Structure 1
Amino acid sequence: MSVDVIFQDDHLIAINKPSGLLVHRSEIDRHETRFALQLVRNHLGQRVYPVHRLDKPTSGILMFARSPEIASLVVEQWRQQQVHKRYLAIVRGYMPEWIELDKALVPPVDKYAPNERIKPAQEARTDFRCLATVELPIAIDKYPQSRYSLVEALPHTGRKHQIRRHLKHLSHPIIGDARYGKGRHSRYFRDHFDAGRLLLHAWQLSFTHPVSNEHITLLAPLDGVWQGLIQRFDWLSQLPDEGLMSTPAGECV
């Protein structure tokens, strides 16, 4: 399995992580044998250090530092909310044009630590922008048609499952979300559009390089599943960047 490298220098490396790939070994998926951390380490021939999280079913930009010192500097940027992330999602229903959501979230309980104390809710803020909509002439729920939206999410905090939980709270769950979504809609996309994955993609990451102080903006193109849906629903002109439809340089196979 190769890695799709979208940025690399002497201090950092960023890849376009495919959906279904864990960042590192986890108790939740003991059967998994491939991890982004391992693949990047093998690609470079050296240890690397993750500086942020990306859920297993989420695709998109995942960055690693090439030394613990650089990792500390980048993690501090994340802590100070100086790193800006942009995501794309396909959700159920018609979303309003713009939503600024400020809703605290209780950290999810770890099923492998049932005796762990429930932690208090943490501040969580996400802005949502509706880019496009589509109505399909099919009855999946109680309505004769089914509506969906292409949404951009801009999280200002980094809580676990923040975007997914916020969209569920807004009654616009992400298609393909096995934990927070609507099973009927997810199954329809899987069976009819060959889209059996979580439709959430971390497409842009902007930060200040910890050594050069250069402002860097990275872009991760959409995979084949996403690109097929964008074309099917005629959403190409509504994408925030035409580079999203480019062919990944080294897409995992």
Structure 2
Amino acid sequence: MLEATVNRLSTSPNIEPEPLSILFQDDHIVVVNKPSGLLVHRTNLAKDEEDAVVQRLRDQTGQWVFPVHRLDRGTSGVLVMAFTPEVARRLSAQFSASETQKTYHCLVRGFCDEVGVIHYPLAKLNEQKGRSRFKIEGTEKEAETHFKCLAQYQLPIPVSRYDAMRLSWVEVTPKQGRKHQIRRHFKHQLHPLVGDSCYGCRHINKVTKDIWPEDFRLMLHASSLRFSHPITGQTMTIKAELSDEILNVLNKLLPYQV
């Protein structure tokens, strides 16, 4: 019965979706390296989309999977899911209590500080239809993001009123997991993420899309996740390799490192 149900979840009768890269799997959880451009699960604004991580993993593992946390559609990297609602509940509690440690890497506009902490409260975001996809609602809550600049680049390409394009490759550790926390925090710092259609700089996005048309995307990757296994209690640290698109961009930037 389950096998028949899973077969019906295939995303297309003609095109077989590419299998997700599984980083860890046991009887209780499965951890994947989510590709950019793929939803974690269908939303109210994307009900008609058949392809999502949940659907692919059901087909791939032959089991129902339950989301534990989320990554934005454009974000790639470590994503953990549970095979039962109880395991999902236990894992979700760790995320809600900020008991996990998440490390991201991103490419941002400008030269950011060598190290820093962004303290900037964030209100809840709700999806909505219309010109603006998200609506700010509710009271602002504490949000803290630590970062370290790993490399800076200066390209001899005019951007808006500037005669050169400056970029920074940054390692980021958010303490909480507010919706779009990293993207909103770096916009607040005037260092928006490259490829961010919501909070990014349209001038930077236009130029980078022109020079990297095949690799243009939201330059945000969930590199590692540390959590306690919900059944054994063992400390798990799962790492995900950078996507080909991000690696291609970093290789192209290497000659311009300052």
TM-score, with structure 1 as normaliser: 0.88
Match of 1:24 among 34, 41, 55: 41
Question: Partner letter of residue 42 of structure 2?
Answer: R
Distance 1:62 1:168 in 2: 24
Question: Partner letter of residue 100 of structure 2?
Answer: V
Distance 2:129 2:68 in 1: 24
2:45–2:127 CA contact under 8 A, matched in 1: no
Question: Partner letter of residue 254 of structure 2?
Answer: D
Write out the 4+ residue segments of structure 1 that deviate beyond 4 Å after TM superposition: none
Question: Is 2:117 the counterpart of 1:97?
Answer: no
Shift of 1:82: 1.0
Partner of 1:196: 216
Shift of 1:29: 2.5
Partner of 1:59: 76
Match of 2:187 among 168, 177, 180: 168
Partner of 2:199: 180
Match of 1:82 among 95, 99, 118: 99
Question: Is 2:251 the counterpart of 1:234?
Answer: no
**Relative to total residues, which structure has the larger strand share, 1 or 2?**
2
Partner of 2:29: 12
Distance 1:118 1:212 in 2: 38
Question: Is 2:249 the counterpart of 1:220?
Answer: no
Question: Number of residues paired by the alignment?
Answer: 235
Distance 1:59 1:204 in 2: 11
Match of 1:135 among 140, 154, 167: 154
Question: Partner letter of residue 142 of structure 2?
Answer: E
- Percentage identity across aligned positions? 38
SS of the residue 1:218 aligns to? strand
Distance 2:201 2:230 in 1: 41
Question: Partner letter of residue 190 of structure 2?
Answer: S
Shift of 1:40: 0.7
Question: Partner letter of residue 133 of structure 1?
Answer: Q
Moved more, 219-228 or 187-196: 187-196
Shift of 1:118: 2.9
Structure 1 pair 146–9 and aligned structure 2 pair: CA distance change class (3 A): same
Partner of 1:110: 127
Structure 1 pair 120–5 and aligned structure 2 pair: CA distance change class (3 A): same
SS of the residue 1:120 aligns to? strand
Moved more, 23-32 or 209-218: 23-32
Partner of 2:90: 73
Shift of 1:196: 2.1
Shift of 1:31: 4.1
Distance 1:72 1:45 in 2: 21
Question: Partner letter of residue 64 of structure 1?
Answer: M
Question: Is 2:171 the counterpart of 1:152?
Answer: yes
Unaligned runs of 5+ in 2: 1-16
Distance 2:20 2:219 in 1: 20
Distance 1:117 1:233 in 2: 36
1:87–1:153 CA contact under 8 A, matched in 2: yes
Shift of 1:110: 3.1
